[in-house]
Structure 1
């Protein structure tokens, strides 16, 4: 099993049972080229607890908690000189799952504003883009504020 980058962070929300503040831990990691996420924790006031996990796209509240704790990473990419346009288009379509009509715009956006997310969320497409003939940079985005990040219940995005 090949493990890539991972991160864990606290996630605070309102308990859906009693309304008190509930504390969770949210995590994301890359295993065998797939994003895995998990959330676990609960409410100390009433004892309600939840555990959730999945693969693929990371729910918004999990990503938000990790960004609040660790900061955002910005992935920027451009095809290397000599990379055929067809290969670049194919790579972007495969990595981001966008239709052909949106590839040109996605290429421009990757070079200009980039893709934003957690370290694990950006590391996976960065590796795939490099394999597809792209020059890739990963930069630290805005630093975390240090404030608690309140999110929806872990059962919802």
Structure 2
């Protein structure tokens, strides 16, 4: 099971005291999950939420990206056929055909940036369809953009064909 989490502090929405938040993402039995929890020690305001699916709430993603930095997923080589790539993108990210084609172009050109768990999840779908991928940890805490994006990453590890 691949997992990533972080803790940060903020203000309690009920009483204004400092509160500790915990957020995370993980892959469990082939499904992408996210969670968020916290409890105020002053007023007992608290929550614990957990859900799954291709979209993680932005507050969870941003906390993970700030704490750990983004990861870039790219293709190790040009696929012979586009169909396995499109199927993997449509299945893992719940995309339309047109959206999957656009993402495939982005993946082939500059790669896709996201949290470690998001990119690992997509890598699993790509490997299941015989595609070789490369994961790289981006240097810094923001997603590199444009032609200099490749210079801002360092190798994380290669994920070989399944």
TM-score, normalised to structure 1's length? 0.76
Structure 2: unaligned runs, 5 residues or longer: 143-162
Whether 1:64 and 2:96 are equivalent positions in the alignment is no
Distance 1:53 1:95, change over 3 A: closer
Whether 1:49 and 2:26 are equivalent positions in the alignment is no
How far off its partner does 1:79 sit? 6.2
**Structure 1 residues 28-67: Cα deviation after superposition (integer angstroms, max 9, x where no partner):** 2111011222222222343322211112232111121122
**Structure 1 residues 64-96: Cα deviation after superposition (integer angstroms, max 9, x where no partner):** 112222221111236644x32333333332232
Selected match of 2:29 from 32, 41, 46: 32
**Structure 1 residues 111-149: Cα deviation after superposition (integer angstroms, max 9, x where no partner):** 22322222111101111112223231111124349xxxx
Distance 1:113 1:19, change over 3 A: farther
Q: Distance in 2 between matches of 1:94 and 1:40?
A: 28
Q: Distance in 1 between matches of 2:22 and 2:105?
A: 36
Whether 1:120 and 2:138 are equivalent positions in the alignment is no
Q: Distance in 2 between matches of 1:15 and 1:135?
A: 45
| Residue matched to 1:92 | 89
Number of paired residues?
141
How far off its partner does 1:17 sit? 0.5
Distance 1:20 1:28, change over 3 A: same
Whether 1:20 and 2:38 are equivalent positions in the alignment is no
| Residue matched to 2:71 | 73
How far off its partner does 1:10 sit? 0.6
Q: Distance in 2 between matches of 1:122 and 1:52?
A: 22
C-alpha contact (below 8 Å) 1:42/1:48 kept by paired residues: yes
TM-score, normalised to structure 2's length? 0.74
Distance 1:85 1:27, change over 3 A: closer
C-alpha contact (below 8 Å) 1:88/1:133 kept by paired residues: no
